[in-house]
């Protein structure tokens, strides 16, 4: 026993035998209780508390994509139970949304899923427009589709980058960010900002596409196919990559439906559920594209789905370029739309109108509505309750990351810790959306 007591600068410190520091001791710590329902009747406990160790992964762990903390119950290197612990990035955005007018709302929601901000703005705007019952001009809708598909590509590029980095393909990180950067440069030209654009607003979009936008998009479309083929060479056929991802984090269709999991995770199990196809919003029913599905529901399938969704998005962007009509980029309903800038200089009424819309906002009829769009991560829903005033009475965002993350314990059970990293990464959680 005496050799367990060592002298330190702060006096004698007793080292506990390992068995006594594990399991139960840790569980007594506040907040580190692994509160997971007990196993159902008839299922035998694999290990008792004494054999297992609780490991807290995160919230500062680099491969948890932000401030996600995962509690892992380990037996040796094998993960038994696990639990994602969230809330570290909670900033009360739903509460904030009740204090902002409908015109200010997109500035708030765009900060939720900061990797695909345009989808947040889109779903909020669609819900508001549904309550208002206004018809959006065709050009605004096509611009929205163009921007969203480009955003989907940039989001998937970012996922390829971070997923590559998590699994040791560090060069992928640089490539993925390089591609994303080129799309963000285009976004900056259109919206003025690289992220958190506040571009899609109730009633249309904030500004028309700038001159030369078509050439910019065509340049992107020329560049990417070659780069995607490079990724195929770098990752898809590479034995190490396949070893790290194939058979890791498997989900079945039944599990996905029970857990509410959507997006690439659901499609990787073989169910072709894509809201763009199944519940077409905007003008997605006028586009020709395929829904990419997987077979095994593992991390590799999700990688393949996301890679090929970039190709599908490029196909869609090409069609959008062909079909982009001329016309208004926002609805010409004076109740909703502020007057154009040049009118303010010449008309007192326009100035008052502009001031009214940006201070008071517009009133939205009483009602409640739930609208869903397919974000790169799954079904992004927005539930708005209006009491007839200029601010939403209740604004709730159904974040796909929040729901998908809850499938993590099912994905990592029985696997290795290193596979848990691959599984977390394959969910593609954006913590801003998980915690809101």
Residue 257 in the binding site for another protein (CB under 8 A): yes
Closest distance of CB 262 from another protein, Å: 8
Instruction: Decide: is 390 part of the binding site for another protein (CB under 8 A).
Output: no
> Does residue 381 touch another protein according to CB under 8 A?
yes
Render the burial of 318-351: b for 16+ CB within 10 Å, e for the rest: ebbeeebeeeebbbeeeebbbbeeeebeeeeebe
In whole angstroms, give the CA distance from residue 188 to residue 195.
8
- Residue 75's SS3 state is strand
- In the list 47, 193, 259, 321, the residue contacting another protein (rule: CB under 8 A) is 259
Between residues 135 and 232, which has the closer beta carbon with respect to another protein? 135
Q: How far apart are CA 139 and CA 123, in angstroms?
A: 18
Q: Closest separation between CB of residue 137 and another protein, Å?
A: 13
How many whole angstroms separate alpha carbon 179 and alpha carbon 186?
Answer: 11
Among residues 258, 332, 347, 359, the one that binds another protein under rule CB under 8 A? 258
The yes or no reply on residue 95 touching another protein (CB under 8 A) is: yes
Contact 201, 147 (CB under 8 A): no
Alpha-carbon distances of 226 from 147, 230, 231, rounded to whole Å: 22, 6, 9
User: Site mask, another protein, residues 173-212, x = CB under 8 A?
Assistant: ----------------------------------------
Minimal distance, residue 163 CB to another protein, in Å:
23
For residue 413, state whether it binds another protein (rule: CB under 8 A). Answer: no
* Separation CA 40–CA 151 (nearest Å): 43
Size of the site for another protein (CB under 8 A): 56
As to burial, measured by CB atoms within 10 angstroms (0-12 exposed, 13-18 middle, 19+ buried), residue 182 is middle
Binding marks (x or -) toward another protein, 348..377, rule CB under 8 A?
------------------xxxxxxx-----
Q: Is 69 in the site for another protein (CB under 8 A)?
A: no
CB of 4 to another protein, least distance (A): 31
Does residue number 123 form part of the binding site for another protein (CB under 8 A)? no
Q: Which of 121, 179, 379, 428 binds another protein (CB under 8 A)?
A: 379
403 near another protein (CB under 8 A): yes
As measured in angstroms, the least distance from the Cβ of 189 to another protein is 29
Identify the bridge partners of residue 200 per DSSP, sorted by sequence position: 205
Comparing CB distances to another protein, the nearer of 373 and 422 is 373
User: Judging by beta carbons within 10 Å of its beta carbon (0-12, 13-18, 19+), is residue 13 exposed, middle or buried?
Assistant: exposed
Distance between CA 257 and CA 407 in Å, rounded? 11
Q: Which stretch binds another protein (CB under 8 A): 56-64, 114-122, 380-388, 414-422?
A: 380-388
Candidates 216, 270, 393, 418: give the one binding another protein (CB under 8 A): 393
Of 21-29, 31-39, 328-336, 339-347, which segment contacts another protein by CB under 8 A? 31-39
390 and 335 Cβ atoms separated by less than 8 Å: no
Residue 131 contacts another protein per CB under 8 A = yes
End-to-end Cα spacing for the chain: 50
> Under the criterion CB under 8 A, does residue 424 sit at the interface with another protein?
no
Does 129 engage in binding with another protein (CB under 8 A)? yes
Nearer to another protein (CB atom), residue 187 or residue 284: 284
Query: Chain centroid to CA 420: how far?
Result: 19
Name the maximum alpha-carbon separation found in the chain: 90
The residue (of 20 and 95) whose beta carbon lies closer to another protein is: 95
Residue 266's nearest CA partner among 252, 276, 280 is 252
- Which position among 67, 68, 79, 86 is part of the footprint of another protein (CB under 8 A)? 86
We find the least distance from the C-beta atom of residue 386 to another protein, in angstroms, to be 10
Distance CA 405, CA 38 (A): 20
Which residues, other chains included, contact 154 with Cβ-Cβ below 8 Å and sequence gap of 6+?
115, 116, 179, 180, 183, 184, 187
Could you tell me if 72 and 424 are in contact, meaning their C-beta atoms sit under 8 angstroms apart?
no
- Residue 138 sits in the site that holds another protein (CB under 8 A): no
Chain residues in the site for another protein (CB under 8 A): 30-31, 35-37, 86-87, 90, 92, 94-96, 99, 126, 129-131, 133, 135, 257-262, 271, 273, 278-283, 285, 366-372, 379, 381, 383, 385, 387, 393-394, 396, 398, 402-403, 405-406, 435-436
């Amino acid at each position: 026993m005496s050799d367990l007591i060592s002298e330190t600068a702060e006096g004698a410190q007793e080292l506990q035998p390992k068995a006594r520091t594990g399991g139960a001791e840790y569980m007594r710590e506040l907040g580190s209780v692994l509160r997971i329902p007990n196993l159902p009747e008839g299922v035998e406990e694999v290990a008792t508390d004494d054999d297992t160790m609780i490991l807290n992964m995160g919230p500062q762990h680099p491969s948890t994509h932000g401030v996600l903390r995962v509690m892992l119950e380990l037996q040796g290197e094998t993960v038994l139970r696990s639990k994602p612990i969230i809330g570290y990035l909670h900033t009360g955005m739903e509460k904030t949304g009740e204090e902002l007018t409908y015109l200010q709302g997109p500035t708030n929601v765009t900060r939720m899923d900061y990797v695909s901000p345009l989808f947040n703005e889109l779903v909020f705007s669609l819900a508001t427009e549904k309550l208002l019952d206004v018809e959006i001009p065709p050009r605004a809708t096509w611009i929205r589709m163009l921007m969203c598909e480009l955003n989907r590509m940039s989001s998937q590029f970012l996922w390829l980058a971070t997923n590559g980095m998590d699994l040791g393909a560090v060069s992928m990180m640089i490539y993925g960010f390089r591609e994303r950067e080129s799309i963000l440069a285009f976004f900056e030209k259109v919206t003025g900002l690289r992220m958190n654009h506040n571009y899609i607003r109730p009633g249309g979009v904030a500004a028309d596409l700038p001159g030369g936008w078509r050439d910019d998009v065509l340049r992107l479309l020329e560049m990417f196919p070659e780069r995607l083929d490079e990724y195929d060479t770098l990752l898809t056929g590479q034995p190490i990559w396949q070893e790290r991802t194939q058979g890791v984090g498997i989900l079945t269709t039944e599990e996905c439906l029970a857990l509410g999991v959507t997006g690439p995770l659901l499609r990787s199990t073989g169910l072709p559920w894509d809201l763009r196809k199944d519940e077409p919003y905007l003008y997605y029913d006028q586009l020709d594209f395929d829904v990419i599905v997987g077979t095994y529901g593992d991390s590799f399938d999700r990688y393949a789905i996301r890679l090929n969704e970039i190709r599908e998005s490029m196909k869609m962007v090409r069609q959008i370029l062909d079909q982009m009509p001329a016309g208004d980029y926002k609805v010409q309903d004076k109740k909703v739309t502020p007057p154009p800038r040049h009118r303010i200089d010449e008309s007192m009424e326009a100035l008052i109108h502009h001031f009214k819309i940006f201070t008071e906002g517009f009133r939205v009829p009483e009602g409640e509505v739930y609208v869903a769009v397919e974000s790169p991560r799954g079904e992004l829903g927005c539930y708005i309750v209006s009491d007839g005033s200029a601010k939403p009475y209740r604004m709730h965002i159904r974040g796909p990351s929040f729901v998908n993350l809850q499938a993590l314990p099912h994905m990592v059970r029985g696997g290795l810790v290193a596979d848990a990293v691959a599984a977390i990464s394959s969910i593609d959680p954006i913590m801003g959306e998980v915690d809101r």
